[in-house]
Amino acid sequence: MAALRILMFTTFYPPYSFGGDAVGVQRMARALVARGHDVTVVHGEDAYLNLGGPVPAGEGAQDGVTRIGLRHRFGLVSDLLTQQTGYPVMHGARIRSLITDGRYDIIWYNNMSLVGGPGLIRIGDALKVYEAHEHWLVCPTHVLWRHGRELCDERQCLRCVLNYRRPPQLWRYTGMIERALDDVDLLIAKSEFSRDKHREFGLRHEMEVLPYFLPDLDHNATPPFAGHPRPYFLFVGRLEKIKGLQDVFPAFATDRGADLLILGDGDYAANLKAQAAGNPRIRFLGRMSPDELASYYRGALGLIVPSVCYETFGIILIESFRLGTPVIARRLGPFPEIVETSGGGALFETEAELVAAMNALQDDAALRERQARAARQAFETRWREDRVLAAYGEALARAAHRKGDTQLARKLTAGSLEIGSAAA
């Protein structure tokens, strides 16, 4: 099984990242390296720094991934030109040289908004994959959260981006993205919901649904967090208004014998802490290491996921499932397809439904145990690393066949990404 040479592009990548999709890209890159492939990731250091990210203390883990951070002495101008033209204007020569000299089998595009825009796709002739971690292809603000206050159900893009204080992108009205995607051999959505949203907002290209994954761990060997004196529900994620945590606080206004522990940080943290001030049942604990986070998941009655915007997937749901912890998620976006197909939790729309779901987990031990078993089983069959990579390998092999690259198709069919019978 010959090793593949893979080049990935993404705007944000650890340690120059704010979380979320960047961690997903890193997880994929590391998984491919662990299977013997040669992976290079090109990302925008300037984009991260220009958006207020602190200079990382180190260069990140030595994990076998080759990381190339794009930085220019006129970094703000470089990012603005990319945002306005849709091309990697000031890094174009370097990127072309990198693609030409690298002789890559696969070029894998992720969030390209400030690392090259759609013009990046036209460079090179390797097998091309685009993975839609956000809704950037159909939304200039990436999140379909119109005017910064409501779900988007119809285009008002010019007014919306001005409300976000971003420069309008005139190239979005020229069909540039659609023409660039004509060169993409495999276009990936992270959920059926996200695929449908792309189609609803005018994307004409077919998308294949391939979810996020996590490496397995022995959940029974992970000790439940024992440092909190009362039963607790958990919230994990960035503290932003669109994550909907503020809607959960009223459910804890009355003491029902369980607390809410909040793991994460973000721009909306101060507002949330002010809203929760004086309520001893709500605790803000900040960021945690992966091992600490696993312990908190393991000890929780359930994970609450109240996002009010359209996520593309929801990685924290399967983080919780991996540890055998049920989920209570808002009936919105991709959450219903994840929760309902797994049986690993409940959905809510109103405060009353949220409270009822919390009470059920707290008061009915047999129900919680059934949901916990279903959550863990669903993780093993649907979102475990080896199973998802098998699906990726099969999708890539089909794409190589369609492209007419028989040599690459043979490599993939032989099991280079744990596909087919090799993964069974």
pLDDT > 60? residue 20: yes
Question: How many percent of the chain have pLDDT more than 70?
Answer: 96
Cβ-based neighbour number of residue 284 at 10 Å: 16
pLDDT > 70? residue 335: yes
pLDDT > 90? residue 29: yes
Residue 68 phi/psi, 5-degree rounding, is -120, 110
pLDDT band at 260 (very low <50, low <70, confident <90, very high): very high
CA–CA gap between residue 324 and residue 300 (Å, rounded)? 10
- 3-class secondary structure, 169: coil
For 152-190, the pLDDT digits (tens) are: 999 999 999 999 999 999 999 999 999 999 999 999 999
Residue 291 CB partners (closer than 8 Å, separation 6+): none
Predicted local confidence at residue 422, as pLDDT: 35
For 387-404, the pLDDT digits (tens) are: 999 999 999 999 999 999
pLDDT band at 37 (very low <50, low <70, confident <90, very high): very high
Q: What is the mean pLDDT of the chain?
A: 93
pLDDT band at 57 (very low <50, low <70, confident <90, very high): confident
Alpha-carbon distance values, 5 to 283, 309, 315, 391, 404 (Å): 46, 36, 27, 19, 18
Question: How far is C-alpha 268 from the chain's CA centre?
Answer: 20
pLDDT > 90? residue 73: yes
Predicted local confidence at residue 221, as pLDDT: 83
Predicted local confidence at residue 290, as pLDDT: 86
pLDDT > 80? residue 415: no
Structure tokens at 125: 């002739």
Predicted local confidence at residue 416, as pLDDT: 53
For 210-229, the pLDDT digits (tens) are: 999 999 988 788 899 989 99
Alpha-carbon distance values, 119 to 22, 81, 109, 169 (Å): 21, 12, 12, 13
pLDDT > 80? residue 230: yes
pLDDT > 80? residue 262: yes
Domains and CATH numbers, the chain: 5-212 (3.40.50.2000), 219-383 (3.40.50.2000)
How wide is the angle at C-alpha 318 spanned by C-alphas 312 and 323, nearest 5°? 165
Q: In what order do the strands lie in the sheet with 186-189?
A: 66-70, 38-44, 5-10, 106-109, 127-132, 186-189, 208-209
State the greatest distance between any 2 C-alpha atoms of the chain, in Å, as a whole number. Answer: 65
For 296-319, the pLDDT digits (tens) are: 999 999 999 999 999 999 999 999
Predicted local confidence at residue 410, as pLDDT: 87
pLDDT > 80? residue 95: yes
Of 418 and 291, more confident: 291
pLDDT band at 417 (very low <50, low <70, confident <90, very high): low
CA–CA gap between residue 43 and residue 88 (Å, rounded)? 12
pLDDT > 80? residue 99: yes
Predicted local confidence at residue 302, as pLDDT: 98
Mean pLDDT, residues 51-77: 88
For 273-293, the pLDDT digits (tens) are: 999 999 999 999 999 988 899
pLDDT > 80? residue 421: no
Structure tokens at 194: 């996200």
